[in-house]
Amino acid sequence: MGKLFCIMGKSSSGKDTLYRMLTDAGMEGLEKVVPYTTRPQREGEKNGREYFFVKEEDYRRMCREGKVIEARSYDTVYGVWTYFTAADEQMDLARASFLVIGTLESYRKLKEYFGAEEVLPVYVEVEDGLRLLRAVEREQSQKEPGYAEVCRRFLADAQDFSEEKLAKAQIRRRFVNDDLDRCFQEIMAYIAEKK
């Protein structure tokens, strides 16, 4: 039986970059799960690579059909954006292990759906000042930077990933991403050991 490795961390912690690096590394028996979102596609993103970008009505239809395992909605400065994991053909733990990006709440829901022994956390952590700098730099590269949304996410992360919530989710191991290559190697070794 395979495992589901759930990469999570605050915004601009590098989880998307690490997710790409891990999936590009081609670890045998490890496949990626592409989550869904109703948020607009950013410059440089490709549908089906970072996310499946869907309309709100598509999300509501998938909910009615019972295909949504977990979902998180955020009231952004641009409107409500929903991120979700669907019970689709991507994940078959009898066939392989998988890598998915999520939040503490999505991690909890995935454990409920697949079983606590099958879902393992990969919590990526970065010092807040460095994280904020990364977020601003990423936003500067957009045609229309959304600095208000960067600030909203930064503040929301303090609550969403509080020490109390991390403890409640039993997140013990942390992968500090102050050196991307070292962090990547540590996560690779962890996955190889656990899968």
pLDDT tens readout for residues 48-84 = 988 999 999 999 999 999 999 999 898 888 899 999 9
Burial of 185 (0-12, 13-18, 19+ CB in 10 A): exposed
The DSSP bridge pattern shows strands 79-86 and 68-76 to be antiparallel
Q: Cβ distance 97 to 28 under 8 Å?
A: no
User: Structure tokens of 127?
Assistant: 């010092």
- β-partners of residue 84 are 36, 71
Q: How far apart, in whole angstroms, are the C-alpha atoms of residue 170 and residue 111? A: 12
pLDDT at 29 over 90: no
Q: How far apart, in whole angstroms, are the C-alpha atoms of residue 179 and residue 17? A: 12
The model's pTM is 0.83
Mean pLDDT in the chain? 92
User: Structure tokens of 124?
Assistant: 């990526």
pLDDT tens readout for residues 1-23 = 899 999 999 989 999 899 989 98
**The most confident of 15-19, 105-109, 156-160, 186-190, by mean pLDDT:** 186-190
Number of Cβ within a 10 Å radius of residue 181: 8
Report the percentage of the chain scoring pLDDT > 70.
Answer: 100
Q: Would you state the pLDDT for residue 160?
A: 92
pLDDT tens readout for residues 124-154 = 999 999 999 988 998 898 888 889 888 888 9
Token pair 């000042």 is at which residue? Answer: 129
